[in-house]
Amino acid sequence: MGPGCSSLAYGALQELGPFRVHSDGKTLFRNRYAWNNAANVLFLESPAGVGFSYTNTTSDLDKHGDRNTAADNYIFLVQWLERFPEFKGRDLYIAGESYAGHYVPQLAHTILRHHPTSFLNLKGILMGNAVINDETDLMGMYDFFESHALISEDSLVKLKNNCDLKTESASVMTEECAVVSDQIDMNTYYLDIYNIYAPLCLNSTLTRRPKRGTTIREFDPCSDHYVQAYLNRPEVQAALHANATKLPYEWEPCSSVIKKWNDSPTTVIPLIKELIGQGVRVWVFSGDTDGRIPVTSTKYSLKKMNLTAITAWHPWYLGGEVGGYTEEYKGKLTFATVRGAGHQVPSFQPKRSLSLFIHFLNDTPLPDTSRY
C-alpha cells in the first residue's frame, strides 16, 4: 500500500500479526495464523510521517522517496540491533506487500552494500502483490479486469490502442484515452479493487460490543476503521510508548502528511536480478483475486526477468485443498499464488499465508501433492 501506508495498520493489525481489532475499536482477538508462530516479526512504519513515525523537521516530509526510505530503514535496523544486541547475526528476512515491491528489494540492496560491516545476516526477501515494473503492472491490471469480466474486450482494445501505458502520464493522455479510462474507472468504482469478490464496508460505525460471529476466517471489510480507532486511543498509545511527542495529527492507516514522493524507479527488476545473483532467496507471491497488482501483472513482470523455470506451474496444497499455484526458477526465485486472497493476502487467507511463510523461511518447496 502506498507509499505512505502503515505496516501497523495493515501487516500487524489486519494481516499477519498476532491480534486483530474487534468492531468496537478497543478490544482484540487472536490470529492463530500469525506469522510470529514461525519467526520474530518486526513491523516498521516508514518513512517518517507514516503512522507513529515522525520527524521534528516538517520540511523532511517533502523530501521523501524510495532512496531516503531505504536509507532510513537501514539505519533503523542497525540501531535496533544496537539496542537489542542479542539478535545480532540472526537470520534476517524482509517481507512486504504492494509498494513494498520497492521498499523490500531496495532495503535488501542497501544491506548487501554494507556487508559485512553490519550484523545484518540477510537471507531472503518475500514480496506479495508487489509493485515491480510499472508497465507490466498496469497492463496486467487491465488484462485482469477484462479476463474477470469487469470491463469489456472492446474497452481493453480501445485502451491499448489509445493510451500510452508505458508512461501513464496524464499530460500526454489523448481524448480517446481519457474517454475509455473514464469508462473503466466507472466500471470498477464501487468495487473493492483490492479483492474483486469481497464485500464493501458499507457501515463503518464502531459497535458498542464486539460484533458477534467474528472469526479470523472471514475478514471484515471495515477493519481499517476499527484499527484507526484503536491506535488513536490514548491508553493504547501509552502502552505502545507511541506518540510520546503528541503529534498534531491523528494516527492514520495511510499518511496524509506525506504529500510528495520524489523518487520511484519505473522498475525494480534489475534490483531483484542483482539480489538473486548474490544468492538472496526471493519469493514472490500473489493473492489471485486482487485487481490492483493482480497475478497477471506479477506474471508479466516475472516474464520480463527471463528466468529459467525448474518446475512446471503446478498447484500447491494445504489441508487437502489447493492453496494456490507455484513455479520455481533457477537462482532461488519462487513465485506462488494464494487462492482466494486479495491484495492483503493474510487478511483473506491467513492459514494459507502462514503455510507459505513457513516454507519460505525453511527454504522448502510448497507441498505439491494433496494428502488424499
Among 53, 225, 290, 353, the one annotated catalytic: 290
Judged by CB under 8 A, does residue 277 bind a copy of itself? no
Provide the phi-psi class of 183: left if phi over 0, else alpha when psi is between -120 and 50, else beta: alpha
Residue 366 CB, nearest approach to a copy of itself (Å): 14
Task: Restricting to residues 311-340, name those near a copy of itself by CB under 8 A.
Answer: 312-315, 317, 319-322, 325, 327, 337, 339-340
Residues recorded for the chain:
372
Judged by CB under 8 A, does residue 153 bind a copy of itself? yes
* Residue from the set 63, 67, 123, 148 that interacts with a copy of itself by CB under 8 A: 148
* Residue from the set 75, 178, 186, 238 that interacts with a copy of itself by CB under 8 A: 186
* Residue from the set 29, 80, 84, 197 that interacts with a copy of itself by CB under 8 A: 197
Residue 311 CB, nearest approach to a copy of itself (Å): 11
* Residue from the set 147, 161, 266, 278 that interacts with a copy of itself by CB under 8 A: 147
Q: Which is nearer to a copy of itself, 133 or 337 (CB)?
A: 337
Tell me if 258 sits within 8 A of 90, measured CB to CB.
no
Q: Draw the binding track, 76-115, toward a copy of itself (x: CB under 8 A; -: no contact).
A: ----------------------------------------
Annotation says 154 is catalytic = no
Residue 325 CB, nearest approach to a copy of itself (Å): 6
Instruction: Tell me which stretch binds a copy of itself (CB under 8 A): 106-114, 116-124, 149-157, 231-239.
Output: 149-157
Task: Restricting to residues 155-174, name those near a copy of itself by CB under 8 A.
Answer: 155
Among 64, 225, 343, 359, the one annotated catalytic: 343
Task: Restricting to residues 352-371, name those near a copy of itself by CB under 8 A.
Answer: 370
- Write the secondary structure of the chain as one string of H (helix), E (strand) and C (coil): CCCCECCHHHHHHHHCCCEEECCCCCCEEECCCCHHHCCCCCCCCCCCCCCCCCCCCHHHHHCCCHHHHHHHHHHHHHHHHHHCHHHCCCEEEEEEECCHHHHHHHHHHHHHHHCCCCCCEEEEEEEECCCCEHHHHHHHHHHHHHHCCCCCHHHHHHHHHHCCCCCCCHHHCCHHHHHHHHHHHHHHCCCCCCCCCCCCCCCCCCCCCCCCCCCCCCCCCCHHHHHHHHHCCHHHHHHHCCCCCCCCCCCCCECCCCCCCCCCCCECHHHHHHHHHCCCEEEEEEECCCCCCCHHHHHHHHHHCCCCECCCCEEEEECCEEEEEEEEECCCEEEEEECCCCCCHHHHCHHHHHHHHHHHHHCCCCCCCCCC
Nearest to 290 by CA among 101, 110, 102: 101
Judged by CB under 8 A, does residue 202 bind a copy of itself? yes
Q: Which is nearer to a copy of itself, 230 or 300 (CB)?
A: 300
Instruction: Tell me which stretch binds a copy of itself (CB under 8 A): 13-21, 152-160, 171-179, 235-243.
Output: 152-160
Classify the C-alpha dihedral 292-293-294-300 as positive or negative: positive
Annotation says 114 is catalytic = no
Amino acid letter for position 310: I
Annotation says 288 is catalytic = no
Among 6, 23, 98, 255, the one annotated catalytic: 98
Residue 244 CB, nearest approach to a copy of itself (Å): 40
By the criterion CB under 8 A, which residues form the site for a copy of itself? Answer: 143-144, 147-155, 183, 186-187, 190-191, 196-197, 199-200, 202, 213, 286, 288-289, 295-296, 299, 312-315, 317, 319-322, 325, 327, 337, 339-340, 370, 372
Q: Report the catalytic residues.
A: 98, 290, 343
